[in-house]
């Protein structure tokens, strides 16, 4: 059987840069605090007329170009996002229309920061069972629309971005060796965007005034510790499933939640921080977009070499976590 391979990647970030220094002007915060506690120096903010499908379209076009494929070739589009253009229809449907991918079935997956890994895992199953020959998996967010810009503990973290990968059954390309995904719904209240959901409807003046339409993090410092554990265990799970040890892995491309989390889980795994791809300083946390954005940057910058074994891993709201192991070509 032909292997399932990543045959093209792409990414896009909006032009507008919001630095910590600019946030200092409106918030009781400092560049020093944000850099020390998170590693973030700046993040990107979408234009008012840019929706998730617009960011996703630009990232997808680059991934398709890298794959040498046209939109009509695509069988399946999975968009991982918690900020779709509309609650209905799915953001993936707007993306399908904008790309002109008229032969693709399209749907969203809601798994917060782990969304791209969930998307890879779903695509892997469809390609394995033979129903589809290829899939476009995208992670994209316009989180800036959901933030409470007066909440210094949260708004400093997030950014807008998109990344995409084309998967195909093929003899050439980076082989997707495994995916593993996990959920813990009992801790679902830790990262919450309640407004507009059926638990809080109807949308009212009160729901707006209570900030229910804003992204909230509860007990973020407790979640920090869970994140370190789940990142490390996810990497170990991916390596062990394929008969490798962590020392066999050449590069870890993790979700970018906090530079301190990345350092802590690298220490826990006893891997050099040099083996962990970090770009949080420039883009902040763009939830489902961080992993495909980082993957595309690693590919295009030459950070990934032929034969490298790469673990993609994420942890986020839901709670959700997971990993994928890819052997580069």
195 scored as a contact of ligand UT7 (CB under 6 A):
no
Measured from the CB atom, the residue of 170 and 258 that comes closer to ligand UT7 is 258
Least separation in angstroms between CB 285 and ligand UT7: 5
Least separation in angstroms between CB 272 and ligand UT7: 22
Given candidates 31, 37, 192, 281, which one binds ligand UT7 under the rule CB under 6 A? 37
Measured from the CB atom, the residue of 120 and 319 that comes closer to ligand UT7 is 319
In the 8-state DSSP scheme, what is residue 277? -
Least separation in angstroms between CB 13 and ligand UT7: 17
- DSSP output for 283-327: H-B-GGGHHHHHHHHHHHTT-S-TT-EEEEEEEETTTEEEEEEEE
Alpha-carbon distance of 85 to 94, in angstroms, equals: 8
CA distances from 105 to 45, 95, 223 (A): 29, 11, 35
Alpha-carbon distance of 176 to 199, in angstroms, equals: 38
Instruction: Report CA dihedral (61, 13, 164, 172) to the nearest 10 degrees.
Output: 80
Q: Out of 93, 134, 182, 255, which one is annotated catalytic?
A: 255
Q: Are 232 and 263 contacting, i.e. CB atoms less than 8 angstroms apart? A: no
How many Cα atoms within 13 Å fall on the side-chain side of residue 160?
26
Measured from the CB atom, the residue of 311 and 314 that comes closer to ligand UT7 is 314
Given candidates 11, 230, 285, 286, which one binds ligand UT7 under the rule CB under 6 A? 285
CA distances from 60 to 159, 162, 165, 201 (A): 19, 9, 7, 34
244 scored as a contact of ligand UT7 (CB under 6 A):
no
Nearest residue to ligand UT7, by Cβ distance, number only = 29
Cβ neighbors of 197 (< 8 A, separation 6 or more) are none
81 scored as a contact of ligand UT7 (CB under 6 A):
no
CA distances from 140 to 6, 17, 49, 213 (A): 18, 17, 15, 19
Measured from the CB atom, the residue of 178 and 263 that comes closer to ligand UT7 is 263
Q: Is residue 285 annotated as a catalytic residue, yes or no?
A: yes
Please choose, out of 93-101, 178-186, 222-230, 233-241, the segment that lies near ligand UT7 by the rule CB under 6 A. Answer: 222-230
Given candidates 38, 121, 179, 234, which one binds ligand UT7 under the rule CB under 6 A? 38
Least separation in angstroms between CB 268 and ligand UT7: 15
Q: Are 18 and 141 contacting, i.e. CB atoms less than 8 angstroms apart? A: no
Given candidates 227, 252, 291, 324, which one binds ligand UT7 under the rule CB under 6 A? 227
Q: Is residue 235 annotated as a catalytic residue, yes or no?
A: no
Q: Are 70 and 100 contacting, i.e. CB atoms less than 8 angstroms apart? A: no
Q: Out of 113, 134, 182, 235, which one is annotated catalytic?
A: 113
Alpha-carbon distance of 246 to 240, in angstroms, equals: 8
221 scored as a contact of ligand UT7 (CB under 6 A):
yes
Measured from the CB atom, the residue of 91 and 284 that comes closer to ligand UT7 is 284
160: tokens are 């807008």
Measured from the CB atom, the residue of 33 and 244 that comes closer to ligand UT7 is 33
Q: Is residue 182 annotated as a catalytic residue, yes or no?
A: no
316 scored as a contact of ligand UT7 (CB under 6 A):
yes
Which residues have a catalytic role annotated?
113, 255, 285
Site of interaction with ligand UT7 (CB under 6 A) = 29, 33-34, 37-38, 113, 152-153, 156, 191, 220-221, 223-224, 227, 257-258, 285, 316
């Amino acid at each position: 059987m032909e292997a399932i391979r990543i045959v093209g990647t792409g990414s896009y970030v909006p032009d507008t840069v919001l630095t910590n220094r600019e946030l200092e002007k409106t918030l009781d915060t400092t560049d020093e605090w944000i850099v020390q506690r998170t590693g973030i120096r700046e993040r990107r903010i979408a234009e008012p007329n840019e929706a998730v499908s617009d960011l996703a379209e630009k990232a997808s076009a680059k991934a398709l170009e890298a794959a040498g494929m046209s939109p009509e070739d695509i069988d399946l589009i999975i968009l991982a996002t918690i900020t779709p253009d509309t609650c209905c229809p799915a953001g993936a449907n707007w993306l399908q229309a904008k790309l002109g991918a008229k032969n693709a079935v399209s749907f969203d997956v809601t798994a917060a920061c782990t969304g791209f890994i969930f998307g890879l895992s779903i695509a892997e199953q469809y390609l394995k069972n033979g129903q589809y020959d290829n899939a476009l998996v995208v992670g994209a967010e316009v989180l800036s629309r959901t933030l409470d810009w007066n909440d210094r503990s949260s708004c400093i973290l997030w950014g807008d971005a998109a990344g995409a990968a084309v998967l195909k059954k093929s003899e050439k390309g980076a082989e997707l060796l495994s995916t593993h995904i996990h959920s813990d719904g009992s801790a679902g209240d830790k990262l919450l965007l309640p407004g507009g959901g059926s638990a809080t409807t109807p949308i009212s003046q009160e729901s707006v005034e209570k900030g229910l339409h804003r992204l909230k993090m509860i007990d973020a410092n407790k979640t920090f510790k869970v994140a370190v554990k789940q990142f490390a265990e996810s990497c170990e799970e991916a390596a062990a499933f394929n008969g490798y040890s962590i020392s066999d892995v050449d590069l870890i491309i993790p979700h970018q939640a906090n530079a301190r989390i990345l350092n802590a889980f690298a220490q826990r795994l006893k891997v050099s921080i040099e083996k962990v791809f970090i770009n949080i300083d420039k883009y902040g946390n763009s939830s489902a977009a961080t992993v495909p954005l980082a993957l595309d940057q690693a590919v295009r910058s030459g950070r990934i070499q032929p034969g490298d074994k790469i673990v993609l891993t994420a942890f986020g709201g839901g709670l959700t976590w997971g990993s994928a192991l890819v052997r580069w070509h």
